Amino acid sequence: MSFLETLQKNAMIPEKYKQMTREELENRVMEVKKQLGSRLFIPGHHYQKDEVIQFADATGDSLKLAQLSAENTEAEFIVFCGVHFMAETADILTNDNQKVFLPDMRAGCSMADMADIEQTERAWEKLQALFDDTILPLTYVNSTAAIKSFVGAHGGATVTSSNAETMVKWALGMKERILFLPDQHLGRNTAADLGIGLDEMAIWNPITNELEYDGEVSNIRVILWKGHCSVHENFTVQNVADTRVQYPDMKIIVHPECRREVVELADMAGSTSYIINAIEQAEQGSSWAIGTEMNLVNRIINEHPDKQIISLNPHMCPCLTMNRIDLPHLVWSLDTLEDTNNIIKVDPEISENAKLALDRMLKNS
Ligand code: 13P
Ligand code: SF4
């Protein structure tokens, strides 16, 4: 079935699921979970809605969810509450007897869509001509399986926001320079934290198929793919300045998918798990402005009534694709585990090299 057909099929969630009450939907999830026991595993990313995350068997950031997928050899059905690239990663890391489902196939990631395999192959050809065999590719896990496969085939690895520093160091120990896909901000923030100058970083523009850099190209150590997260780009230097004026004692903590200027001005930066842990360990009465996705920020606010917590951007909204996974889709998915509906199956040829890239990361994390 083509991707388009899959989408069309998934657009047709039977009407009955939309008519069910919240109580009926919740009861149905509990019923299926009870029936299937350890045959079913529901991982949930921290950005998922409360109505869904309450049923997750495990929650985590991208690294933890990848590690759990690699460890879980028991569950026959993995219903992934997250976005498409996360479910693909789970499929790559689990065995052939395990089936991975994404409750709504429209739950993509706009950042992952900013690097396609044709663009990457074209870029690589040009970069090889410029730099010979001195580049190692690294890709943020927020990328398609095809990009992971490309990276794996060229000796590189995946990274997540919680191990990016380790992986960039690892890569620069192997080759003189790296190509970092597809998030320029995570790449720039990580390299800068490792002491690499902004003047040693170039941008690869996949639309013009050109390197954007003023200077002597032999000085380049990091080539940043020109992609970004449309959610985290909404945190601005102005938001930081306003917060500092309005709440002078407030600590600002952001995700490294935010722009460099924002991360530099913040007090702390790290993955979703890092943010959760930092607030958990913070003193009672302390105050925080958080720069990340809104479902998570609201959950942290509700879980810490003893602290003053706000979103760094007061007009922030949730990640729209993460939000596509809701209770009706979860129940529909659980009701159709024996169908091919909502199944994520990565082509074995792509999966083999993508697994190499993921395994290199898991070994180093
Ligand atoms: P982490 O949970 O790994 O920090 O990832 C954030 C993210 O944007 C996932 O899409
Ligand atoms: Fe993609 Fe950004 Fe949404 Fe994460 S928050 S899934 S990177 S669009």
Give the pLDDT confidence score for residue 339 in this predicted structure.
Answer: 87
Q: What is the rounded average pLDDT of the residues 2-29?
A: 80
Query: 128 C-alpha to center of ligand 2: Å?
Result: 30
> Considering only CA atoms, which residue is closest to atom 2 of ligand 2?
229
Q: What is the rounded average pLDDT of the residues 264-290?
A: 98
> Considering only CA atoms, which residue is closest to atom 7 of ligand 1?
62
Query: 111 C-alpha to center of ligand 2: Å?
Result: 6
Digit-coded pLDDT (tens) for 83-115: 999 999 999 999 999 999 999 999 999 999 999
- 93 CA to centre of own chain: 16
Specify the domain boundaries for CATH 3.40.50.10800 within the chain.
3-108+321-347, 112-228, 232-311
Q: Taking 90 as the threshold, does the pLDDT of residue 8 lie above it?
A: no
Mean pLDDT value across the chain: 96
Q: Taking 50 as the threshold, does the pLDDT of residue 1 lie above it?
A: no
Which helix (H) or strand (E) element contains residue 23?
Answer: helix 22-36
Q: Which CATH number fits domain 3-108+321-347: 3.10.450.50, 3.40.50.10800, 1.10.10.10, 3.40.50.300?
A: 3.40.50.10800
The two tokens of residue 339 are: 């169908």
Give the pLDDT confidence score for residue 365 in this predicted structure.
Answer: 86
Q: Taking 50 as the threshold, does the pLDDT of residue 2 lie above it?
A: no
pTM: 0.96
Residues contacting ligand 2 via CB (< 6 Å): 83, 109-111, 142, 229-231, 293, 319, 321-322
Ligand 1 in reach of 119 Cβ (< 6 A): no
Q: pLDDT band at residue 10, thresholds of 50, 70 and 90?
A: low
Residues 6+ apart with CB under 8 A from 230: 110, 111
Query: 92 C-alpha to center of ligand 2: Å?
Result: 20
Check: CB of residue 258 under 8 Å from CB of residue 279: no
Q: What is the rounded average pLDDT of the residues 3-29?
A: 82
Instruction: Give residue 167's identity as a one-letter amino acid code.
Output: M
Q: Could you tell me the fold of the domain covering 232-311?
A: Rossmann fold (3.40.50)
> Which of 62, 80, 142 is the best mutation target for the ligand 2 pocket, counting ligand atoms within 8 Å of the beta carbon and taking the most?
142
3-state secondary structure at position 183 = strand
Query: 324 C-alpha to center of ligand 2: Å?
Result: 12
> Considering only CA atoms, which residue is closest to atom 1 of ligand 2?
109
What distance in Å separates the CA atoms of residue 148 and residue 169, rounded to the nearest whole number? 19
CATH superfamily of the 112-228 domain: NadA-like (3.40.50.10800)
Q: pLDDT band at residue 340, thresholds of 50, 70 and 90?
A: confident
Percent of the residues in the chain that have a pLDDT greater than 70, as a whole number: 97
Comparing C-alpha atoms, which of 192, 96, 111 is closest to residue 144? 111
Q: Taking 70 as the threshold, does the pLDDT of residue 364 lie above it?
A: yes
Q: What is the rounded average pLDDT of the residues 296-319?
A: 97
Check: CB of residue 263 under 8 Å from CB of residue 269: yes
Query: 321 C-alpha to center of ligand 2: Å?
Result: 8
Give the pLDDT confidence score for residue 11 in this predicted structure.
Answer: 55
